[in-house]
Amino acid sequence: MLGSFAYTDEDFATAVRTVGEWDVSWVRTCPLADGAELFTALMNGRDTPVKALLSP
């Protein structure tokens, strides 16, 4: 994060530190190239991830 409109540098430091402590084991990471296939499967009820993270 490079900047902020409404928050202080300390707020951002706290947010970054806090995010690093989150349990995101329930998030599925997929390559960006698989995004269309994943969302098509979701639309058609063939997949049910709680959260999909597309990684470039």
Each residue of 11-52: pLDDT tens digit? 889 988 998 888 888 888 999 999 999 989 988 988 877 788
Higher pLDDT, 49 or 1: 49
Give the integer Cα–Cα distance in Å for 13 and 29: 25
The predicted structure's pLDDT at residue 1: 56
Residue ranges of E strands in 2-50: 27-31
Q: Give the pTM.
A: 0.51
